[in-house]
Amino acid sequence: MLKMTHLSKVYRTEVVETYALRDFNIDVKEGEFVAVTGPSGSGKTTFLTIAGLLETFTGGEYHLDGIEVSQLDDNARSKIRNEKIGFIFQAFNLIPDLNVFDNVEVPLRYRGMKAAERKERIMNALDRVGLASRAKHYPAELSGGQQQRVAIARALAGTPRLLLADEPTGNLDTQMARGVLELLEEIHREGATIVMVTHDPELAARAQRNVHIIDGQVVDLAEDPRFHTAYTAAAGQIRG
């Protein structure tokens, strides 16, 4: 589903070259729920922006759903973002000028979908996240948890093949975070591929597989069961 091979991302200024990702390899299979963890500045977010085609990369290969994306032009990248990828951001990223219904509608409009189908999908998606009754509300009138649910509805309405989540619970309190996480798990059970970047060990522990990034490279600890156990225990202590 998502396969990066020897991928690198270099930020260049006049005086210095910084490798955000270096010889980066990852292979996410269809239907997997992968958590990407790592310290601040390790390259997690860079990985996610490249995976989501929000940014280009410097070297290597990236196959998304079988398509090699490095040669695609801006329009083709926009189309893939629109049709194959659903984004969930830490800051929710709703458009403050639009109400809930119109926010969920944004990606569907860019797809050129007919109004009737849009409406059906929007109401289904809002129903799914339990916010059908708030369709006419503006983001500022909703709690953080509700806003993130709207963002999830927006991602779901387009029935994406891949859901990319960047610290989806980072701005939420524990209770709201739990609700959002349960929603993600439910979506995963229904067959979606989810890649989630997170600091939250509890969240990471709920994923099927953990990928750990340090200094722009994947460190293959996550598949080591001992690490997994230790990580979960540590998480438990923190929570406890």
Partner 1 sequence: MQIKPILAAMRRHKAGTILIGFQIALTLAIVCNALFIIHERIARVSRPSGVNESNLFVITSDWADNSSNDNIDAQIKADLTALHQLGSVQDATSLNSFPLHGTGWDNFIRMTPDQIHMTTDASVFLADEHTLGTLGVKLIAGRNFTPDEVQSLTIQDMKGWPAIIVSKDLAKVLFPNGDALGKQIYASNNNTPSTIVGITDTLQSHMMDSDDNAFAYNAVLVPMREVGTGYVHYLIRARPGQLEAAMRDVPKALIAQNRMRIFDPDDGEMTFAQVRAKAYERDYGMAILMGIVSAVLLAITAAGIVGLTSFWVGQRRRQIGIRRALGATRNDILSYFMTENMLIGVAGVVVGTLLAIGINLWMVTHYDVARLSGTYLLVGAVVLLLLGQGAVLAPALRASRVPPVEATRSV
* Interacting span for partner 1 (CB under 8 A) from 101-109, 173-181, 182-190, 231-239: 101-109
Count of residues of this chain found to bind partner 1 when the rule CB under 8 A is applied: 32
How far is Cα 24 from Cα 6, in angstroms, rounded to an integer? Answer: 5
How far is Cα 13 from Cα 30, in angstroms, rounded to an integer? Answer: 37
Binding characters for partner 1, 117-136, by CB under 8 A (x = yes): --------------------
Q: Please, what is the Cα angle at 106 between 190 and 158, to 5 degrees?
A: 20
Strand-pairing partners, residue 211, are 36
- Which of 1, 20, 53, 211 touches partner 1 by CB under 8 A? 53
User: Any contact of residue 67 with partner 1 (CB under 8 A)?
Assistant: no
How far is Cα 176 from Cα 171, in angstroms, rounded to an integer? Answer: 10
Please give the single-letter amino acid code of residue 234: A
User: Any contact of residue 114 with partner 1 (CB under 8 A)?
Assistant: no
Instruction: Select 84 or 128, whichever has its Cβ closest to partner 1.
Output: 84
Strand-pairing partners, residue 34, are 195, 209
How far is Cα 84 from Cα 145, in angstroms, rounded to an integer? Answer: 25
Q: Do 37 and 232 form a contact (C-beta atoms < 8 A)?
A: no
User: Any contact of residue 96 with partner 1 (CB under 8 A)?
Assistant: yes
User: Any contact of residue 107 with partner 1 (CB under 8 A)?
Assistant: yes
Instruction: Select 95 or 233, whichever has its Cβ closest to partner 1.
Output: 95
**What pairing do the DSSP bridges indicate for beta strands 59-64 and 2-12?**
antiparallel
User: Any contact of residue 95 with partner 1 (CB under 8 A)?
Assistant: yes
- Which of 57, 89, 118, 188 touches partner 1 by CB under 8 A? 89
Contacting positions for partner 1 (CB under 8 A): 45, 48-49, 52-55, 74-75, 78-79, 81-83, 87, 89, 91, 93, 95-99, 102, 105-107, 109-111, 154, 166
